[in-house]
Structure 1
Amino acid sequence: MVGNAELRAVMADLGLTRADLAHLVNQELVALGCPGTLTVRTVGTWLSGQSRWPQGRIRTALERALRRTPEQLGFIPHRTAQPQVPSEEPVLRRDFLAASAAAALPSMIASRGQAVGHTDVDRLKESLRTLTALDDHRGGHGSLETAALAGSDQALGKVDRTISDSVRRRLYSLAADYTATAAFSCIDDRRLDDAERHFETALRLAGLGNDHVTTMRVFNCLSMVGYHRNKPAVALSAAWAAQNAQAARRDPLLASLAHARAAIAHSTTGDRQAALRCLGHARDALSRVDDRERPTWTDFYGSAELFALSAVVHQHLDNSAESESASHRALAGIPPQFRRNRASATARLALAQLGQGEIEQATTTANSVYTLMGDDPLPPRLLTLLGDFHRGLITLAPTSAVTREWTDRVHAQGETQ
């Protein structure tokens, strides 16, 4: 596209339309004591290249508005600039004010810094992808929570340097996503009070950013918190809130996840019919999923993860055989990079096998959780599952050699279950 490519790129990065830019420049003109008369048509001449060097006071206002020099905005100075002699006092006054502002401009730009744009937000999002990948591999822990909260602080620290609503909303949305990541890490770390506190903050930030996807994410995770607190009513209410979130109504993948979460909540109360009905809704919604762009935190969810969640439902409904089948299908499909989820599905498989009296097979499966996680410490949420397995094994076969070997393994790991 011909014309002033630099100005066009800056406007796109800052999220500005022609009308937005005219409004911002006029605000600065008024602050300089000049009439705010810049029109959208004039902005068009800048973009087309027809006007290559704005007038003095307008140029000063433009620098103040975008916090960039004219050269950075793609303007080219005239080779010979003839000074104009002011003929009227008002003109002299305006030129004096504009010249004074221009003289002060370098220090103003240095102190305020350049305006934050979409490129800055994109760079911050890359760091969030790294944290999400770390969570998928290792699971939640204190260092991940700290890093996520630092990312949120970075995003919020840039809000005051935005000049467009679109960039400002993206920063609030990104801060919400970072904070929700910190909260999810706390769930894995079994620090549920901290998780709830972070989720409250994430929900507020998502509102400021008009971010319906993160809002749905928060309600989905609050359903998990209710589940881990053994409060089925809370878990179910949060799952319903996730289903009713605008993002879930628009995206069948998110709707499927919310239905699966509701199924787990129903299963903990023994409501078989409602739990299985919700699983059916989750499968139906998943069959309608398209390939639209989604946040990286949703990458874990698909048919394999739905099988993993189905295994949880069937376990609560005392369908050990169904739970084992679903766990096998989950493990056949969960990608290797989601190591924590594979370990959780493996622990569920061990519980399902134990529920059918397959003591040796179940113990072998449970031992493979440690192998899968390698040298990394097991997240407390995963340890809780293995603790359930430990208690079930002792109850079922308290004196068997398999139980003694498993108990020795647990003691050797030095982990309380």
Structure 2
Amino acid sequence: MTSSTVASGRPDRPAQPNLVFRRLRGKRSPAEFAAAVRRAAREIGERVSCDARYIGRVESGEIRCPNYAYERVFLHMFPGRTLTDLGFAPRSSVRGRGARTGGWTRGPGDPHDPNQPHHPHPTYRPHDNHEESDVLRRAFMTGGATVAAASLSPLGLALDAAAAQRPVRRAGASDAGALEETVRRIRLLDDRHGADGLYRRAAAPLRAAYALLDAGAARQTTTDRLAAGAGELALSVGWLAHDSGRFADARSHYAEALATARTAGDTALEAHAFCNTAFLARDAGRPREAVRAAQAAQRVARSLGSDRLLALLALREAGGWAGLGDGAACAQALARARTLHERGPCDADPEWMSFYGDAELEGLEAQCWSALGAWRRAARHALRAAGAQDPHFTRNTALYCAELADDLARDGRPDEAAAAGGRVLGLLAEVQSSRVHTMLAGTARVLLPHRRAPGVAEFLDRYAALRRTG
């Protein structure tokens, strides 16, 4: 889900320098320090294209928070410290903001900024512009996006129906910024809690986003941001529908995003829309469509300069081939994905791919082998996925463990399946995802004849109790 940079109402305001990071560099030149970063990356199996310019942009404050690969490297270099100890902003304050930024035309984007690779929009700070429009306040910034321990409390994403239908004046930079902030909020909450509690609350902001786009803007840069933001929000809402089992709604939202991308000539958004369409087609039992959409996404994405994006799209294609039962074509796509993935992250990787890494690669490969009935091989990859997942992505951790439980159950290892399923049950207080629940239901059915195996009865009883209370 490609995010738009949240752009400032005061673009001339300078970024806050990262003085902490500058002190840590000490007497080394930016080039020498960049070389040290690359060496540290190799020590932990990461690949980052760090150079003196990147270090300069960190120290100037242009890069407020590094991507996950750089984060792992910096924390390895400075053990015991957090990102904020290194002078960066908390990730929750920037999640989803940075895929489009200043000074570059559509296409490959800035090759030196992992948070901001694509479009010409300066960085937005939500509190810089105190002259926010009524549409901004009502549609996107009302209330707080607080999360209770066991469920989502009401989000600040509601828009009253009368306001949504009222004519909107011409949109400005603050409206685009509010739209981008909404995409960021939705993604952050989805990463942690899944889609079920979010989907219906996200529909009103989507209507408001397209109302802003229809109202037009005085500046082309604002129009571009509104189109990108509306398209990204359509993809985010579509993903919430997808993950909560509302496939027809998801298909409609993805088609809307694709139309927006083509109308605006936004290649990055188009690749993202095809990527999501391929994933949905696989899940909805249309594997041939999944292959076609993934191949279309790869054609579009070749100009964007991101090997990791192409790796993900190859995995989408592999999922389609697996659904068609074509093991040879699936294996070829998986091999291509691994080759691209092993080239490592780069600064052109879109910000919406922050969920993607070693864990997602393993998880998607597990799903392919599972679809082909190779349960033992699938379980091996699912186990790697669950072990490699960043703790921030609670929903994905639950998903990989559910995949592992199902593969183990079908491979005739009921005790191990019950243990993995029990881990998923422990995460469901935080995660609301129909996909995870559906997978658990299938695992429980497979395990029913094995109630006497160690741990199976306990898992089945806990699962039954969850269904009764849910």
Q: Deviations over 1:60-114 (max 9, x none)?
A: xxxxxxxxxxxxxxxxxxxxxxxxxxxxxxxxxxxxxxxxxxxxxxxxxxx9978
Which of residues 328, 338, 349 is equivalent to 1:283? 338
Specify whether residues 353 and 114 from structure 1 end up closer, same or farther in structure 2 by C-alpha distance, changes over 3 A only. closer
Which of residues 269, 292, 300 is equivalent to 2:347? 292
Matched AA of 1:243 = Q
Q: CA deviation at 1:123?
A: 4.2
Q: Can you give the 5+ residue segments of structure 1 that lack an aligned partner in the other structure?
A: 1-5, 18-110
Alignment match, 2:17: none
Q: Does 1:245 align with 2:300?
A: yes
When Rg is computed on C-alpha atoms for both structures, the one with the higher figure is 1
Alignment match, 2:224: 169
**For residues 248 and 415 of structure 1, what CA distance do their matches in structure 2 show?**
51
What secondary structure, in the 3-state scheme, does the structure 2 residue paired with 1:288 have? coil
Q: Does 1:389 align with 2:443?
A: yes
Matched AA of 2:337 = A
Alignment match, 1:341: 396
**For residues 114 and 217 of structure 1, what CA distance do their matches in structure 2 show?**
28
Alignment match, 2:419: 364
Q: Does 1:263 align with 2:280?
A: no
Q: Deviations over 1:280-305 (max 9, x none)?
A: 11111122344325543211112221
Q: Does 1:413 align with 2:466?
A: yes
**For residues 148 and 293 of structure 1, what CA distance do their matches in structure 2 show?**
30
- Higher RCO, 1 vs 2 (CA within 8 Å, ≥6 residues apart): 2
Number of aligned residue pairs: give it. 312
What secondary structure, in the 3-state scheme, does the structure 2 residue paired with 1:245 have? helix
**For residues 10 and 281 of structure 2, what CA distance do their matches in structure 1 show?**
51
Q: CA RMSD of the aligned region, Å?
A: 3.2
Q: Deviations over 1:108-167 (max 9, x none)?
A: xxx9978623x6534432231121011111111253453265056236416635222222
Q: CA deviation at 1:358?
A: 1.6
Alignment match, 1:91: none
Q: CA deviation at 1:410?
A: 2.4
**For residues 7 and 366 of structure 1, what CA distance do their matches in structure 2 show?**
50
Alignment match, 1:71: none
Q: Does 1:328 align with 2:383?
A: yes
Q: CA deviation at 1:178?
A: 0.4
Matched AA of 1:209 = A
**For residues 192 and 321 of structure 1, what CA distance do their matches in structure 2 show?**
29
Matched AA of 2:366 = A
Matched AA of 2:429 = G
Query: Percent identity among equivalent residues?
Result: 25
Q: CA deviation at 1:180?
A: 0.6
* Greater percentage in helix: 1
Alignment match, 1:86: none
**Does the 8 Å contact 2:193/2:430 carry over to 1?**
no
Matched AA of 1:412 = A
**For residues 346 and 260 of structure 1, what CA distance do their matches in structure 2 show?**
19
Q: Deviations over 1:347-399 (max 9, x none)?
A: 111122223322112111111102123255x31111111122122223x5366
**Does the 8 Å contact 1:149/1:179 carry over to 2?**
no
